[in-house]
Amino acid sequence: MSIISLIFLITLQITTTYSTLLPQTTNNLNSEQQHYYNPKLPPRVFTTSNKFEGSSDLVHLRYHMGPVLSSPININIIWYGKWTPQQKLVIKDFILSISATHREATSPSVSEWWRTATLYADQTNSNVSRSVLISGEYVDHLYSQGNHLTRLTIQQVIANAVKSAPFQVNHKNGIYLILTSSDVTMQDFCRAVCGFHYFTFPSMVGYTLPYAWVGNSGKQCPEVCAYPFAVPGYMGKGGPGALIPPNGDVGVDGMISVIGHELAELASNPLVNAWYAGEDPTAPTEIGDLCEGLYGTGGGGGYIGQVMKDRVGRTFNLNGRRARKFMVQWIWSPVIKACAGPNALD
């Protein structure tokens, strides 16, 4: 996940005048009133179009003949470091919301958001699976590779977990999600990435397995990786204040969007040879990268877009299972060739 573009988006907000929209309402599982809200709506200039969400004829997202994750996606979570039960529950509720039915989560929902990812198919015409499950969990609370990780040592973390029964290895549809706690630093974390995905080396892990890593930025760089729930100090009074996270944890709520970003890219480009833009597979522009910073209608050019607030002021754009609320960035649609999300109003 690129930080350069995110910093650019934040900087643009400094000189923009605060504005809001007339509230509209919908209902969630608790029948609470939800107000559509946009802290920074751009003025309509040069066009009457409602589309601000990253649409462009200049984006050439291409298929490079590799596989997508078309079978039911079984996620094995590796909890590295110290995690509270509540933090784990929020993250697991988000992941399980991807496959939730409309009875479990009202619209706009996480499962509706994931449908954009399922539009991507491979050369066998098999689409990204709608089924996402948690098949195993492993806790590395002793920091087996220390408090500072690199892209190489993260593979050793996976290798240790794979060797630990009953953590299953699924060669066909298993992926690994490594989540590091707020006291763990990672190579390039906060400076260049908030998360990334790749695949394991057989020489280290024994198998080629897709994986994603996401870190908790709560104590290190929330203004970068948990924006807009934290804002840079240099913004001062020149922009909107930090928004209230939907689950009350800036670090974890910030992680949710990054996890969604990485899972969507991992599903559509698991071996870095499927869907991406650009000519360099070592630095691909993927379906999440194209929509960083966009969360709703009107987003683009430094604006997060039109999202929602509940009665106590918590900001979100998606509903999940067990009445959870989440704030998740949009992803690129190959059909409309623009960023898309189920909370779109146009």
In this predicted structure, what is the pLDDT of residue 227?
92
Q: Does the pLDDT of residue 156 top 50, yes or no?
A: yes
Q: Does the pLDDT of residue 15 top 70, yes or no?
A: no
Residue range 308-320, pLDDT digits in tens: 999 999 999 999 9
Q: What is the pTM of this model?
A: 0.85
**At 141, is the secondary structure helix, strand, or coil?**
coil
**At 300, is the secondary structure helix, strand, or coil?**
strand
In this predicted structure, what is the pLDDT of residue 23?
35
Task: State what percent of residues in the chain have pLDDT above 90.
Answer: 70
In this predicted structure, what is the pLDDT of residue 164?
85
Of 2-11, 29-38, 173-182, give the range with the top mean pLDDT: 173-182
> What is the chain's mean pLDDT, rounded?
85
Question: CA 236 to CA 233: how far, in whole Å?
Answer: 6
Residue range 260-288, pLDDT digits in tens: 999 999 999 999 999 999 888 888 999 99
| Strand blocks (E) in the chain | 25-27, 33-37, 61-63, 73-80, 132-140, 148-149, 174-180, 185-186, 195-199, 210-215, 275-277, 307-309, 315-316, 318-319, 325-326, 331-333, 338-340
